[in-house]
Amino acid sequence: MSGCGCRHGAAADGTRAPAIADPRCPPAPPPAGPAAASPALAPAMAWFADMVQHCYDAATAAKAAGRPIVGILCEYTPRELVMAAGGLPVCLCGGDVRKIAPAEEVLPSNLCPLIKSTFGYHLTGANPFLEMADLVVAETTCDGKKKMYELMAESRPMHVLELPQKPGDPAAFERWLDELRRLRDELGRRFGVGITDDRLRGAIRGMNRERALRRALAGRMRRTPPPFTGRELLDLKSLISCLPADVAQYEAALAAVDAAPGRADLAGRVRVLLTGVPVVHMAERVVDLIESHGGVIVCMENCTGLKPIVEDVDENASDPLRALAEKYLHLPCSVMTPNEGRMDLLRRFAADYRPDAVIELVWQACLTYDVESHRVKRLAESDLGLPYLRIETDYSPSDSARIALRVEALFETVRARQAARESTKS
């Protein structure tokens, strides 16, 4: 589900989006201690701590200027098309556990928490961006989302992108290209704007620039020791892409990180490659558990990590819509079959980021990631020679102690292997 860095919780009825206090995750004293903040990132962290407010201000100003707000819920939805229509694409995915109970009045409880939380926001009207949205662009990814969208569409304007699920099939590409054409035409018709190739190229350039900066920041985690934590990196993103002030912060953060000495305190930590479902705002509990128990997440393969930003769109393509279709259909989500691209990406990230272990996060009732976890485990253990841990959980903190124990056991295995390797050398 969506990896757009969702950070909801802004007031539905005011101009000030309040800071989000998450009652689910009281800080517990972890054995290894949480990693301290990275001084080089302090200005950017301070900026992005107010990200919801910045997005709220930008959306309010855009709305006042007559620009449409378009809600998106998945990384398959090309933000470039919305931007080329003069709109502001805003991620609507829910990470708040408190929105799950209202959702369960309608949806089955045995459903992914991300879907339930998103739908809970819809029912309670608590997401100002959803309330502002002139259109929601949904997509046919997993079954739970598809059916939830039907209910949401009863009272919200919605366009559903039909996503082909056999990415290697040439017919699938032509079908997907046709879907993007339909979305372009729908946006143009609805908002009274001609989406020309030049407008599209401008949006592609903007998104490429932002992707490149975020990719470069994530790439600094290849270093030993890494210059910041996975949680810090996760917090450097926005609900709305390409806000100029955010882009300036990414640039400044990159320069500051490159000028700063490495984080010696992160040197002894277990380097983790985190894969699986997206870690949306207010659902970062497992990231914090990993990094509070001796780990540092050097690579996030998921949709809130590198997966959606690892590839750009060809800015010079003669047909920019076709170039968009190519980039987006390459996204290796578990809803695809087969999903070889994800295995390739994991191999590549393991070589680049040199993790000591692979941890897979699966939201409860996410069948596609859950079934695919078998392949990821085999890849990690047999092909990459890395210890692997699968964590299946939801947004409730009730299993935090159990998860922490399993993470500690994994890290013990890593340390035992490292010690055995050292003793063989000496």
CB of 252 to ligand SF4, least distance (A): 28
**Contact status: 369 vs ligand SF4 (CB under 6 A):** yes
| Residue 26 vs residues 23, 51, 381: alpha-carbon distances, Å | 7, 22, 34
Q: Is 1 a binder of ligand SF4 (CB under 6 A)? A: yes
Q: Can you tell me which of 90, 333, 361, 391 binds ligand SF4, judged by CB under 6 A?
A: 333
Name the token pair of 292: 């509070």
Residue 233 engages ligand SF4 in binding (rule: CB under 6 A): no
Residues of span 381-410 touching ligand SF4 by CB under 6 A: none
Q: Which of 22, 68, 75, 386 binds ligand SF4 (CB under 6 A)?
A: 75
Query: Distance between alpha carbon 315 and the CA centroid of its chain, in Å?
Result: 24
Binding mask 178-217 for ligand SF4 (x = CB under 6 A): ----------------------------------------
Helices 340-353 & 367-378 angle (0-180, nearest 10): 50
Nearer to ligand SF4, 69 or 91 (CB): 91
Under the binding rule (CB under 6 A), the answer on residue 361 touching ligand SF4 is no
- What is the nearest approach in angstroms of ligand SF4 to the Cβ of residue 332? 8
How far is the C-alpha of 210 from the C-alpha of 226, rounded, in Å? 22
How many residues of this chain interact with ligand SF4, rule: CB under 6 A?
23
- Kindly report the three-state secondary structure assignment for every residue of 204-243: HHHHHHHHHHHHHHHHHHHCCCCCCCHHHHHHCCCCECCC
Q: How many CB atoms lie under 10 A from the CB of residue 26?
A: 8
Give 110 or 424: the residue with its C-beta nearer to ligand SF4: 110
Residues 284-313 close enough to bind ligand SF4 by CB under 6 A: 303
Q: Smallest gap, in angstroms, from Cβ of residue 335 to ligand SF4?
A: 6
The 3-state secondary structure of 154-209 reads CCCCEEEECCCCCCCCHHHHHHHHHHHHHHHHHHHHHHCCCCCHHHHHHHHHHHHH
**Length, in residues, of the chain:** 426
Give, as ranges, the residues between 99 and 118 that touch ligand SF4 (CB under 6 A).
112, 114-115
Min. distance of Cβ 239 from ligand SF4 in angstroms? 14
Q: Where are the beta strands (DSSP E) in 220-339?
A: 270-276, 295-300
Does 331 help bind ligand SF4 (rule: CB under 6 A)?
yes
Between 41 and 297, whose beta carbon lies closer to ligand SF4? 297
Q: With binding defined as CB under 6 A, does residue 6 bind ligand SF4?
A: no
Q: Closer CB to ligand SF4, residue 76 or residue 349?
A: 76
Within 263-282, which residues bind ligand SF4 (CB under 6 A)? 277-278
Nearer to ligand SF4, 349 or 363 (CB): 363
Give 360: exposed, middle or buried? Use CB within 10 Å, 0-12, 13-18, 19+.
buried
Determine the 3-state secondary structure of 424 from DSSP: helix
User: For the residues of 106-161, what is the DSSP string, one character each?
Assistant: TS-SSS-HHHHHHHHHHHHT--HHHHH-SEEEEE--SHHHHHHHHHHTTTS-EEEE
Beta carbon nearer to ligand SF4, 40 or 279: 279
Name the minimum Å distance from CB 369 to ligand SF4: 5
- Which residues here bind ligand SF4, judged by CB under 6 A? 1-3, 74-76, 112, 114-115, 141-142, 144-145, 277-278, 303, 331, 333, 335, 363, 366, 368-369
